[in-house]
Amino acid sequence: MEHVVIIGNGISGVTLARHIRKLSNKKITIISAETEYFFSRTALMYVYMGHMTFEHTKPYEDWFWKKNRIELKQAYVTSVNTASKTLHFSEGNTITYDKLVIATGSKPNKFGWPGQDLDGVQGLYSKQDLDRLEQNAPNNEVCKRAVVVGGGLIGIELVEMLNSRNIPVTFLVRESSFWNSVLPEGESEMINRHIKSHGIDLRLSSNLKEIKSDTNGHVSAVIIEETGEELACDLVGLTAGVTPNIDFLKDSEIETGKGVKVNRFLETNIKDVYAIGDCAEQQETVGNRRPIEAVWYTGRMMGETLAQTLCGNKMPYNPGHWFNSAKFMDIEYQTYGWVFNEKGQPDYEQHFHWKHKDDDKCITIAYRKDNNAFLGINTFGIRMKHDVFDKWLTEHRTLDYVISHLKNANFDPEFYSQYDDQIKAAYSNTLQTA
Ligand SMILES: Cc1cc2nc3c(=O)[nH]c(=O)nc-3n(C[C@H](O)[C@H](O)[C@H](O)COP(=O)(O)OP(=O)(O)OC[C@H]3O[C@@H](n4cnc5c(N)ncnc54)[C@H](O)[C@@H]3O)c2cc1C
């Protein structure tokens, strides 16, 4: 019986295993060093914030895997020999495979900062990071101030987590405005104000220079590059992005760039070896998407797609229209299609922007200047329906159509109707002044 070995029990690896089982009788082994059972990484923050226990982050009961004949092995793979189809574990033992799938996810970036490995300096990625955070920052007596370095989606989650325990937080953001490498100016500036309204010490255009130690090897302060200011703190959260977790492949024949290089069928350069999820790097990008997509649903889609291929129905990875969602403290963010910021905006793209007077809700719609075609939408503080925007993008709807039907895309049309008139009024104003 063919043996499929999957390294990584995250969303991509377990989706693959579940779908292979639905389609075949193959022998399946999932290996992970992190935890025995799959859990939802995106829910880690809610465990620290007390909204759920770690047990609740496991979508499947522990008996599920045995019942579905999916073997779980908790171990760390140190190297891969593709000639003999053998994996080597840190404990010295080995396992062989017929098909190998690399689904090893990401690791937090460290940029060689002095002091980056001190006690009390950590990322936010793994179950072990959650445990470390509980130790390093249980409350504001043990952790009198935390510094979070890196203004992305994980950074703002860590800020919110610490803030929920009343731990004072300084947030060092390299960019001149929060996440403005992605968000248009108006949105990014609204989020700056929102972060500050929670009492967070937001420092824009600020880089970490150095982390200082006390006499016990624990963090005592950070130094800010631009000003030289020394800030006393008990925790430093490093959230300056992630990179594929693939160091263990460096002596193998498998081609890597930043991630494991794959074609549209998620195949690597080596026969019978595939990669999916955060660690996969597309040789040719899909539309405007990045070659590495470190998001939950694309990992799931890659797992579903590869299961088809491995079970005899060869299928390319085809993720459809881009969408994503996140939360910036109390403000929910969703994006569908493409809305570029001012720096990345192509010549043909124009924006319609509306912001509520309370400064906690806004939308930006991107459209083509020449024919008004709808290109994408960002919404903040107003929850929209994915399937509606997906359909409108496929149907090449116009900006006028989208504005006049926005209500249909809203999760809660009753609640939304109060904003609908304001958005339409703002739109007709724009038309009159254009
Ligand atoms: C705090 C946080 C919040 C997030 N929130 C969101 C969100 O709201 N929306 C969203 O779309 N995305 C979010 N993400 C990103 C999302 O969680 C990832 O894209 C997704 O989990 C990646 O899944 P994966 O299967 O590729 O890998 P992972 O989930 O990283 O799983 C890979 C596993 O492989 C193991 N492994 C690695 N190397 C080895 C080895 N050599 N031997 C054995 N085991 C190994 C790892 O320990 C890990 O357990 C968030 C991420 C974090 C950290």
Q: Is 154 in the pocket of ligand 1 (CB under 6 A)?
A: yes
Quote the pLDDT of residue 431: 67
First to last CA, the chain: 67
How far is CA 248 from each of CA 43, 57, 81, 83, 88, rounded to the nearest angstrom? 27, 28, 11, 16, 10
Nearest to 396 by CA among 416, 425, 373, 422: 373
The dihedral of CA 22, 24, 27, 30: what is its sign? Answer: negative
Number of H helices, E strands in the chain: 10, 25
Ligand 1 atom having least distance to the Cα of 324: 11
Residue 416: per-residue pLDDT: 76
pTM listed for this prediction: 0.96
Q: What is the 243 CA–ligand 1 centroid distance (Å)?
A: 11
Q: Compute the distance between CA of residue 365 and CA of residue 378 in angstroms, rounded to an integer.
A: 7
- CB of 34 sitting under 6 A from ligand 1: yes
Rounded Cα gap, residues 411 and 396, in angstroms: 22
What per-residue confidence (pLDDT) applies to 354? Answer: 93
3-state SS of 161-186 is HHHHCCCCEEEECCCCCCCCCCCCHH
Q: Measured from the CB, is residue 54 less than 6 Å from ligand 1? A: no
Mutate-to-test residue for ligand 1 from 295, 317, 328, highest number of ligand atoms within 8 A of CB: 295
User: Is 46 a pocket residue for ligand 1 (Cβ < 6 Å)?
Assistant: no
Of the CA atoms within 13 Å of residue 281, those in its CB half-sphere come to 15
Ligand 1: centre distance to CA 126 (Å) = 8
CB of 275 within 6 A of ligand 1: the answer is no
**Distance of CA 130 from the midpoint of ligand 1 (Å):** 13
| CA angle centred on 263, ends 281 and 41, rounded to 5° | 40
- Ordered per-residue pLDDT tens for the chain, 434 residues: 999 999 999 999 999 999 999 999 999 999 999 999 999 999 999 999 999 999 999 999 999 999 999 999 999 999 999 999 999 999 999 999 999 999 999 999 999 999 999 999 999 999 999 999 999 999 999 999 999 999 999 999 999 999 999 999 999 999 999 999 999 999 999 999 999 999 999 999 999 999 999 999 999 999 999 999 999 999 999 999 999 999 999 999 999 999 999 999 999 999 999 999 999 999 999 999 999 999 999 999 999 999 999 999 999 999 999 999 999 999 999 999 999 999 999 999 999 999 999 999 999 999 999 999 999 999 999 999 999 999 999 999 999 999 999 989 988 777 777 788 888 888 888 766 55
CA of 418 from ligand 1 middle (Å) equals: 39
